[in-house]
Chains A and B, each alone.
Chain A
Amino acid sequence: MADFTVRSDAVNVEQIMEQIRARIREKRGVDYTEEQIRELAAVKLQKFLDPRGVRSDLLEQFRKTQPPYEPPQLPNFAFEDSTLFESHRGPLRFIRRLLRPILKLFFNPNPLIQALHIQSKVNTMLAEREARLEASRRSTESLYYELIHNLVLETTRLGIEVKNLTMRVESLSSRQDFNERRARALESAVVYKGSQGSQGSVGSAGAQGSLGSGSPGSPGSVGSAGSAGSAVSGAAGAPGGQMQPPTPGAGEGPGQRSRRRRRRRGRRSGPPAAVVMGGTGSPAAPAAPAAPHAQSTTAETVQQAIAVESHSTEPAPAAPAPQPSVDAAPPPAPPREPDSQ
């Protein structure tokens, strides 16, 4: 006779149940069996039952306000087999005992005696049971009181925590907005500063074209700013050599005017670029050349900002850029805005 094993290659119930349980575990984190859940519930309650595990003295206070329970003294009677025939008078008791067989000829008092005896015992048992139940109920009430108090406490704490977290999220969100606006302003400031002074590291980048005549050891030096500016205009700004290098105080080109317009727009929409950059330039005199040292610092900051921006948002260039080193040529110019060309 065949055995009780039918196995289909396609379906295995135990495997399916494992998958189902795994899915349940994924959904709720931990897969507790009912026994484990009961065990956990018992542990939690034990914590509350243990006065040392309770955090506040609320339970004690509650107990103090409640009068101690004393079971009421319910009326009862004792009924034994001799109760019916008892008397404080000895002779009478003797006569009753003597006549008891005669009494039993008329009726059988035993069922009555038994019933009353049982009734008295039942009364006693019920009174004891009632007292136990009442005491148990009162202690459970105390426990519930404490439990609910702790629940309210925890719920309030959680509510406050949620509010704190909400405020923190809002703060982070506003900081992120601010940083985004700052990054946009920095991008526009790079172009403006670079073409304004044509000096510093931007100028030095353009100075690669004139390295044959310039000093290779001074790409970022302030002293070479003038020649570097001309190199920029010659190498990158005007391939045909038609555009003249801007001079402070001289007439402004059309590109510069458009940059000024953009700067005004930027000022209306956000904080001034110079302020954002931490530079000393005043919006009132944007074209005024700053101190050489300040200009150099500003240019480095801008370069770093752009590098960070390009790292975070733009794809990596196809060919790796040469790493700047002390005795190597200065680093290539960072990517420029279209309107800077």
Chain B
Amino acid sequence: MKLAVVVQRYGHAINGGAELHARYIAERLARHAQVEVLTSCATDYITWRNDLPEGLEQLNGVTIRRFRVKHERDPEAFGRLQDRVFDETHSIADEIDWLDAEGPTSPALIDHIARHAGDHDFWIFFSYRYYHAYYGSRAAGPRAVLVPTAERDETIGLSIFAPMFRSVRALMYNSPEERLMIQSVSGNESVPGVVVGVGSDVPQNPQPARFRAKYNLRGPFAIYVGRIDENKGCPELFEFFQGYAKSTQGRLTLVLVGNSVLPIPKHPRIRHFGFLDDADKFDAMAAADLLIMPSYYESLSMVTLEAWALGKPALVNAKCDVLKAQCIRSNAGLYYESFAEFVEALSALERQRWLSVSLGRNGRQFFRDHYDWSVIERKYLDMFDRLRKEPAAARTEHDPGWLDRRRETIPPAREVLAKLPKGPALGSAGVSSNTGDPGRKRA
């Protein structure tokens, strides 16, 4: 079997969620099939500057084929277009302009896919929101499999993506919430889909004491791992944690791991260690008492899964449906919607040792049952088997004409998003259904 993985960025030092997800999947599937990765030369997701050389290279047994990005992103023009499509009634042409402005605009990559569509059994596209996935999935035709990594943000409300969700051969979802959201916005219940997620190479024997010694860290601490960014809910985390430190007798310190694009408050109990390599990161997580995940938008949160794999409980932002639902499904974490809940939940996890241990144990079991690599690989291979056996449905949707593309009748994406169902998709959140699941419900 020959597979192609298409993703916006790829490399050892690239740690974006979807990019890491793609790398893990490519490297794991390389054990069962011949895998080639097609990506851009960019390493920066804001400018898409061509930092890496074009052409072929090898990484961990996977061939990588890089294509140049035609133009860098112009933040101002992109911002204007984004305001228009998110907040105003607009046209399909506006959305196409927005997509081109977002990037990474690489026509060479799309041409290559169109020319070699038949060379691979399946083309796995990561991140529905980018140029490569939109045009690439159309070029690959019935061999396109999409890993949407969709979050509950305005982009999902753009009209150009609904036909894409309906026309790909299959979708590999990260969570039941993501599946329900995409099905609600596009009506693609007939497209084969499975909730898969991603595993992680968590070390069996992390060294928490080594981390504490190396960074001179004493006492209990909560950890946040990821980009320190407004979109990740970090300002709210800082505010809540400072309130907790001020108003309670709690002894926890907040340890931040990751690159920061925000000023971090000067507080004796907030420590920032910057970007750490995997060994240090896992040591830090093993040394922590719990993980805090304050993000509003997550399609899965690999860091939370890694914390659970290490037997650590999580405290997550309940405004993110996926995180809340994962906590409820796994019984491995608490969630907060307000400052009072943050303080109470954090205090409960700090003081009630039995609770912390029980949640961590549940998390470890949840990870083993659903996110162990053997489970993930099996789900992908089962899906490919199924797709090989089933004939591809004929594509019935046609692209809108020149005039239709320019009619300003598309509602603002924010309005579309507001109409989508909210809350965790609990109930029969099965992992293998491909059609509308009547038993599924919103909590």
Q: Given A4-B329, A4-B370, A11-B355, A16 and B362 touching (CB < 8 A)?
A: no
Which of B203-211, B216-224, B339-347 participates in binding chain A?
A: B339-347
B369 partner residues in chain A, CB cutoff 8 A: 2, 6
**Interface presence of A268 (CB below 8 A):** no
Q: How far is the CB of B200 from chain A (nearest CB, A)?
A: 17
What is the distance, in angstroms, from A26's C-beta to the closest C-beta of chain B? 11
State the CA gap A300–B385 with chains docked (Å): 105
**A16→B355 contact, CB < 8 A:** yes
- List A1-27 residues whose CB lies under 8 Å from chain B: 1-8, 10-14, 16-17, 20-21, 23-24, 27
Residues of A within 8 A of B378 (CB): 1
The reply to whether the CB of B241 lies closer than 8 angstroms to some CB of chain A is: no
Closest to B352 in A: A16
Interface residues of B in 308-366 (CB under 8 A from A): 327-335, 337-338, 340-341, 344-345, 348, 355, 358-359, 361-362, 365-366
Question: Complex: how many Å from CA A12 to CA B332?
Answer: 9
Q: CB distance A6 to B348 under 8 Å? A: no
**What count of chain A residues pass the 8 Å CB interface test?**
23
Kindly state whether residue B62 has any CB partner on chain A within 8 Å: no
Complex CA gap A13/B341 in Å reads 13
Contact assessment for A34 and B379 in the assembled complex, using a CB-CB cutoff below 8 Å: no
Query: B293 to chain A: closest CB distance in Å?
Result: 14
Q: Does A33 contact B (CB under 8 A)?
A: yes
Which residues of the partner chain B approach A10 to less than 8 Å between Cβ atoms? 358
Question: How many residue pairs at the A-B interface have CB separations less than 8 Å?
Answer: 73
Known contacts A12-B331, A17-B335, A20-B348; A4 and B362 CB within 8 A of each other:
no
CB-nearest residue of chain A to B176: A4
Which A residues lie within 8 Å of B334 (CB)? 13, 16-17, 20
Q: Give Cα A28–Cα B428 distance, bound, in whole angstroms.
A: 37
Whether a CB of chain A sits under 8 angstroms from the CB of B225 is no
- B341 lies within 8 A of A20 (CB): yes
How far, in Å, is B239 (CB) from chain A's closest CB? 14
A2 contact set on B, CB distance < 8 A: 369-370, 431
Interface centre among A8, A21, A34 (most CB of B within 10 A): A8
Per a CB cutoff under 8 Å, which of B330, B335, B341 touches A6? B330
Closest residue of B by beta carbon distance from A6: B366
Contacting pair A13 B331 (CB below 8 A): yes
Check if B160 is an interface residue, CB within 8 A of chain A. no
Per the 8 Å Cβ criterion, residues 258-304 of A in contact with B are none
Known interface pairs A11-B362, A23-B344, A28-B340. Does A6 touch B331 (Cβ–Cβ under 8 Å)? yes
Whether B291 is near chain A, meaning CB under 8 Å from some CB there, is: no
A12 to B344, alpha carbons, bound, how many Å? 16
User: Is B410's CB within 8 Å of the partner chain A?
Assistant: no
Are A8 and B362 touching (Cβ within 8 A)? yes
- Residues of B near A34 (CB, < 8 A) are 337-338
Give the residues in chain A near B355, CB-CB below 8 Å: 11, 16
- B379 to A1, Cβ gap below 8 A? yes
B190 within 8 A of A: no
B361 nearest CB across to chain A (Å)? 7
- Measured CB to CB, the nearest residue on chain A to B359 is A11
Q: What A residues does B333 contact at CB under 8 A?
A: 13
- A24 CB contact (under 8 Å) in B327, B344, B359: B344
Instruction: State whether A3 touches B429 (Cβ < 8 A).
Output: yes
Report the bound CA distance from A18 to B408 in whole Å. Answer: 47
- Distance in angstroms from A282 CB to nearest chain B CB is 65
B430 near A6 with CB under 8 A, answer no
Across-interface contacts of B365 in A (CB, < 8 A) = 6
Most chain B CB within a 10 A radius of its CB, from A10, A13, A21: A13
CA distance A12 to B432 in the complex (A): 26
The answer to whether B429 touches A4 (Cβ under 8 A) is: yes
Distance in angstroms between the alpha carbons of A153 and B375 in the assembled complex:
67
Task: Tell yes or no: B168 within 8 A of A by CB.
Answer: no
* Pair A7/B331 contact, Cβ less than 8 Å: yes
Q: Mark B273-294, 1 if CB is under 8 A from A, else 0.
A: 0000000000000000000000
Cβ of B195 under 8 Å from chain A: yes
Least Cβ–Cβ distance between B84 and chain A, in angstroms: 17
| Chain A, range 23-74, C-beta contacts under 8 Å to B | 23-24, 27-28, 33-34
CB distance from A121 to the nearest CB of B (A): 18
- Docked Cα-Cα span, A170 to B431, in Å, equals 71
Closest to B343 in A: A24
Residue of A4, A17, A33 with most partner-chain B CB within 10 A: A4
B349 — nearest CB in chain A belongs to which residue?
A16
Q: Identify which of residues 376-395 in chain B touch chain A, using a CB-to-CB cut-off of 8 Å.
A: 378-379
| CB-CB contacts below 8 Å: A297-332 with B | none
Whether the pair A5, B344 counts as a contact (CB closer than 8 A) is no
A11/B331 in contact, CB under 8 A: yes
- Nearest-Cβ distance from residue B377 to partner chain A, whole angstroms: 12
Q: How far is the CA of A10 from the CA of B160 in the complex (A)?
A: 47
Question: Cβ of A8: which chain B residues have Cβ within 8 Å of it?
Answer: 331, 358, 361-362
A6, A11, A21, A24: the one contacting B329 at CB < 8 Å is: A6
Please tell me if the beta carbons of A11 and B330 are within 8 angstroms of each other in the complex: no
Shortest distance in angstroms between A227's beta carbon and chain B's nearest beta carbon? Answer: 75
* B358 A11 Cβ-Cβ under 8 A: yes
Contacts of A4 in B (CB 8 A): 176, 195, 329, 370, 429-431
Closest to B195 in A: A4
**Least distance between B296 CB and chain A CB atoms (Å):** 13
Partner of A13, one of B195, B327, B428, B431: B327
Q: Say how far B299's CB is from chain A's closest CB, in angstroms.
A: 15
Known contacts A4-B370, A11-B359: does B337 contact A33 (CB below 8 Å)?
A: yes
Closest to A5 in B: B329
> Are A1 and B362 closer than 8 Å at their CB atoms?
no
With a CB–CB cut-off of 8 A, which chain B residues contact A27?
340
In the complex, what's the smallest C-beta–C-beta distance from B69 to chain A, in angstroms? 31
Shortest CB distance B423–A (Å): 13
A38 and B341 CA atoms in complex are apart in Å by: 17
B313 smallest CB distance to A (angstroms): 10
Q: A4-B176, A4-B370, A6-B362 are in contact. List 19 more A-B contacts (CB 8 A).
A: A3-B429, A4-B195, A5-B429, A6-B330, A6-B365, A6-B366, A11-B331, A13-B331, A13-B335, A14-B328, A17-B335, A17-B341, A17-B345, A20-B334, A20-B345, A20-B348, A21-B341, A23-B344, A24-B340
By Cβ-Cβ distance, the 7 closest A-B pairs, closest first, are A11-B358, A20-B344, A4-B429, A24-B340, A4-B329, A6-B366, A8-B362
Which residues of A pack against B, CB within 8 Å?
1-8, 10-14, 16-17, 20-21, 23-24, 27-28, 33-34
Q: Can you give 26 A-B contacts (C-beta < 8 A)?
A: A1-B375, A1-B379, A1-B432, A2-B369, A2-B431, A3-B429, A3-B430, A4-B195, A4-B430, A4-B431, A6-B331, A6-B369, A10-B358, A11-B331, A11-B355, A13-B331, A13-B333, A16-B348, A17-B334, A17-B335, A17-B345, A20-B334, A20-B345, A24-B344, A27-B340, A34-B337
